Amino acid sequence: MRDIQDVFNELEAIKQEQKSIRKDYRDMLANDGEYQALKDAYDTARIAKKEAELAIQASMGGAYERLEELTKERAALEEMLSDIAMTQLIKGESIELSDAHHNTYEPTYKVTFKKIS
């Protein structure tokens, strides 16, 4: 098995190369007249689309507001579910869930790294 630091260093080098290539790509797009014209047309269409969405949301009234509330409530419940599962895992308890269609679920875990300094 490879050393974790070596893998991390290789990953960082790849990220730097990707960053450099993306910068070159953005520069080339910024200097392309046809792309800029298409981008302007896209931006205009996107603004019109957003205005239409806002009008429809306003006409829905309370139903759309309820959708927003449900979205926030769902995110909170998903976080709570994750916290409960982690607590049960730490206690050594088994975790198994099932839905209304009798499908069973087991937790999956993902490790990510966050820069601390």
Statement to judge: residues 56 and 74 lie in one domain: no
pLDDT tier, 34 (very low <50, low <70, confident <90, very high otherwise): very high
Domain assignment present for residue 14? The answer is yes
What is the rounded CA–CA span in Å between residue 89 and residue 95? 7
Q: How many domains does the chain have?
A: 2
Asked whether the beta carbons of 95 and 89 are under 8 A apart, the reply is yes
Whether residues 116 and 66 fall in one domain: yes
Listed range (41-45, 74-78, 92-96) with the worst mean pLDDT: 92-96
Instruction: For the chain, give the percent of residues with pLDDT over 90.
Output: 81
C-beta of residue 100 within 8 angstroms of C-beta of residue 112: no
Token representation of residue 69 = 């509330």
**What are 12's two structure tokens?**
């960082």
pTM: 0.63
Return the CA Rg of the chain. Answer: 24
In a domain, 3, yes or no: no
Task: Supply the range of the domain harboring residue 88.
Answer: 62-117
In this structure, the answer to whether residues 47 and 32 fall within a common structural domain is yes
